[in-house]
Structure 1
Amino acid sequence: MPYPDRDAYPDRHAYPDRFYPVVDSVAWVARLAALGVGTVQLRAKNLDDAGALQIVTDALAATAGTNTKLVVNDYWRAAIVAGAKHLHLGQEDLADLVDADLKAIRDAGLTLGISTHDDEELATALRANPDYIALGPIFPTTLKSMRFAPQGIPKITEWKKRVGDIPLVAIGGIKLEQAAAIFAAGADSIAVVSDVTQNADPDARVRAWLGQNAEAA
């Protein structure tokens, strides 16, 4: 069945923000929202249904009254029940869905971002008519074991040509000092994990990212 048109979601053109941190707790979500971050992904693994609903509900409460858009990783049922607006799925998550699930996600008004690592995954993601495509890892990452080799910056340019006006998010081992080259290669957004969460002064690093992106905008 055809999936709903992305143009039915007008805010997709400003989404996700150029700086897109990915964190694993409500405390991090609240901290980033207080710093003025526009898009934050909550990626908390291995939760049961009740735990997923609780953390999504709490994260939405933490962003209430701020300009932060919360992206829920994986837990689409909890996202729907809690009233979230943005969802991110990995390839394994996407493979577990049937057409009715994708329709439920869209009917609930959720935007959809999808992770990709190779040509086959890109084709799979495009069939779901996503609101953005994430490509990674761009550089080596120590956060989790990756079965895919680093993509490198040139792949960003190649994939941006292929996805057209769909926003392209670069992820994987990226630091602030590499941001200018990543954007120049064609990325619309950079997803950041360790450069914030493992930084000695995360707040200062976030402000630097926000300042860099404001200058580049």
Structure 2
Amino acid sequence: MRLYALCDADILRERGSDLLSFAGRAKTLGAEVLQYRNKFADIAIVKADLITLRKVWEGFLIINDHYELASFCDGVHIGQEDLYAIDSDPVRAIKILKMAIGEDKIIGLSTHNAQEITTANSLDINYIGLGAYRATSTKSDAKVLGEKLDELAALSNHPVAAIGGVKLDDRFQHVTYNVIGSGLIPNENAK
């Protein structure tokens, strides 16, 4: 299984860890993608963190939501609400997003059910995030898909990243990446 590391700034702070330690541990585990998520910091801090990560991360670097910072990384991951905030027509929303970030950037979209996957199949994106596989503390309102996740993943025309409570040893038939979050990657340097 391929690994996609989700680096959440708030969880790192709670665990007494930092960006560089997380990126190093993700690299040691063989992660190919690192998504940086910082929901509450000032945009200047998020930008500075992306610049720091870019210096040490050789794989794909994705920013969560902040598509205005896509020039500092390889792409952007957006949620359903973010997609429809751009435009009520998802096809137009992705076209607008591509105009804003550039045609060469990666776009990932969170999905949670068959209907959202069907819509995503018609979009010019690079992958979908699908979940939640298990309950997580970061998304308390997430609907848990459990074993149904792999069945839903089979409906996707795009590579699938399993999200939400995924563990290193989880295996799926139709999933390209296991997304392992900041709270699940053991950090030997955490306090």
Could you say which TM-score interval applies, normalised by the shorter chain?
Answer: 0.7 to 0.9
Distance 1:125 1:105, change over 3 A: farther
Distance 1:134 1:202, change over 3 A: farther
Map of 2:133 onto structure 1: 138
How many angstroms does 1:96 deviate by? 1.9
Q: Tell me: higher relative CO, structure 1 or 2? Use CA pairs within 8 A at least 6 residues apart.
A: 2
Give the distance between the partners of 1:28 and 1:167, measured in 2 at CA: 28
Of 95, 113, 129, the residue aligned with 1:118 is 113
Distance 1:175 1:30, change over 3 A: closer
Map of 2:13 onto structure 1: none
How many angstroms does 1:116 deviate by? 0.8
Taking every aligned residue pair, what percent have the same amino acid on both sides?
27
How many angstroms does 1:137 deviate by? 0.4
Give the distance between the partners of 2:133 and 2:70, measured in 1 at CA: 28
Distance 1:142 1:49, change over 3 A: closer
Query: 8 Å contact 1:53–1:79 — kept in the other structure?
Result: no
Give the distance between the partners of 1:86 and 1:191, measured in 2 at CA: 16
Matches within 5 A, 1:6-21: 18-21=2-5
Distance 1:105 1:85, change over 3 A: farther
CA offsets 1:91-133 (integer angstroms, 9 cap, x no match): 1221222446323246251111110112343344334322111
Query: 8 Å contact 2:68–2:101 — kept in the other structure?
Result: no
How many angstroms does 1:72 deviate by? 1.1
Give the distance between the partners of 1:116 and 1:202, measured in 2 at CA: 33
Q: Which has the higher helix share?
A: 1
* AA at the equivalent of 1:111: I
Give the distance between the partners of 1:202 and 1:95, measured in 2 at CA: 40
How many angstroms does 1:143 deviate by? 2.6
Of 102, 126, 136, the residue aligned with 1:107 is 102
Distance 1:201 1:51, change over 3 A: closer
Q: Which has the higher strand share?
A: 2
How many angstroms does 1:47 deviate by? 2.9
Distance 1:195 1:29, change over 3 A: closer
Structure 1: runs of 5+ lacking an equivalent:
1-16, 204-217
1:27 aligns with 2:28: no
Distance 1:97 1:144, change over 3 A: same
* AA at the equivalent of 1:173: G
Paired residues in the alignment total 173
TM-score when scaled to structure 1? 0.68
How many angstroms does 1:34 deviate by? 4.9
How many angstroms does 1:155 deviate by? 3.3
RMSD, aligned CA: 2.6
Map of 2:64 onto structure 1: 73
How many angstroms does 1:191 deviate by? 0.5
Q: Secondary structure at the match of 1:22?
A: strand
